[in-house]
Structure 1
Amino acid sequence: MSPHFASQRWAAKEDGPRQGKEPTMAQEVKVPKMPGAPVFGKWISPEESVGQRLKGKKILLTGTTKGVGRVTQELLCAHGAFVCGSGRTPGVAASVADELKAKGYQAAGMDVDLSDYDAVKKWVEECAELMGGIDVVINNASHPGMAPFGEMTPEIWNYGIKNELDLVYNVCNCAWPYLQKADGASIIITSSTVGLQGSNSPQACHAACKGACLSLARQLAAEGGPFGIRCNSVTPGLVWTEAMSNIPKEMASGLVAAQTTQQAIDPMDIAYAYLFLASDESRQITAANIPVDGGCAGAVTGGMQGEIEV
């Protein structure tokens, strides 16, 4: 707000109403546009956003059987979206979706090996038919290949590439034709802080895949722009999932101490980042990365001493 406009607003309060139409609290600005500019999503007032941030959105979400994906599916459904999920463990994604449908939400879940292009293509087609199209793709699922680099075999390396990078290509590529037809689409690719910086833990393949995910997100933002397709990435830090809770307490203490916030991240914190990027509230955000990492990628901390409280 300019100083001049601010002074006018204060004068109106002190000296009575000004002549003419008073601007409302929230009003769409008629921004300049180039001829033929695509639509990236509609403008939403604060009143409209309450409980309906994703009303009518049709969303593909990978990895909904547990952790971040499971809470994300419920959050997005609660905000009005129809969310089709996926999982590798037979029957679990469908079971999770059934629980959501019992609450009155629009949800589905199917068994999919995301590293198999043909299986992904079939899943995407089925979801698009079920939902009546696709507006948002959230690449949440991954399964890394981990080993110290000196012990990194071609088998481990290829497994990681297939299940952390190829699966993102598979989903985005199969969904691309549907996103081109959407009235403002969004792709979200989950990377990791290890894609931004090195680590003293054995994560070479994981780092390579997640670094590639960051680059892919920027490239898809560039290629998707003419079609009204946005693409952004999210870099989670230490998210406290079922898998993390099983690591030795001493190791966990060191990881948590590296967080600037001095605490691990709840899966719901990642889900809310997905919610924002999936909504039209972020319609002018593309080719960006949102760290949800407790600050560990942006600030150095010595860490607190002692054991964590769980």
Structure 2
Amino acid sequence: MSESKSKVSKSILLQRRDQLFLLDLYDLQFLDVEYLEKHIYKGNSKPYIYRRVKGLEEEGYIQSFRVPILHLNNGQSKNVYALGKKGAREVQSLRGELDWRYDVVTRTPSHVHHQLLLSHVRGSYEEERQAPEGEEQSPKDEKFEMVQYLNEKYGYFKYDPKDDPDKLGDKPFTIRPDGVLVLKHKEKGIYIPFFLELERSYQTKQTTIQKLERYNLYCQYRLFEEKHRGYDYPVTPPRILFISCNEKGTDRLLDHSKGIDTSDTAGVLFGDFEDIIKNPYGKIFHAKGSKDPEQLYSLVDKIES
């Protein structure tokens, strides 16, 4: 009787791009296959990506689940990826730290969708980290490059006068941007933070006003200099980016911001999500306080007031 041979699956050998995938999952919580196509496994086919992802999941590096596609009303859903236990250990070995929960997959579909949109915003500004073989790597912008991204946890800052020896203010407040892009001016060597506020569909006017008032205090007290420890670089005053998923949302946010003092910030811009994905450094933003409400600005333009 012939001896039956059992099939032994070969352990996956992690590549640099797999590690980037895990690191991005740690920073962004959730990713989809569209992000993987553009920013991690660029130049590879979808079938290849699905096979690679399946191998990572089988070994516990990642976990996957399905969420409804919110802008469709026909019951469609999509795969979403989150960090797995083995992937978390790999991230810890790469970063030297870990603050992560395995049950992140229990978040609501709205939260997952919000984080997926943020991941694509970050990806649109990030330089290519591993260009496909034979493909020349060119910068996304001649003057600026993204050098750091802070997720909500690291962008969070709490000011409490009881803990402040300088007594800059008498009332406590917090800021909690959805994310923070830090761009470097390549010639001048300065670092500019951009606070991301990705609009939630039912955000009230009062919420927008409170956010702007707190951001202005944060800049007025210059808390971005020494007290906010999240930055890897000495940064200039931040600029606030409100991102909407439709034109009506942009108009509504512009209306909400009228009359609110933001003079201590580096400016407040309002843009459309799709425009940012297609042309992140283009003249695609409306500006609060612009003398011409119809004029469009780039991310770093001086606002003509």
Bigger RCO (CA 8 Å, 6+ sep): 1
Higher strand share: 2
Provide TM-score, normalisation by structure 2.
Answer: 0.28
Provide TM-score, normalisation by structure 1.
Answer: 0.28
Higher helix share: 1
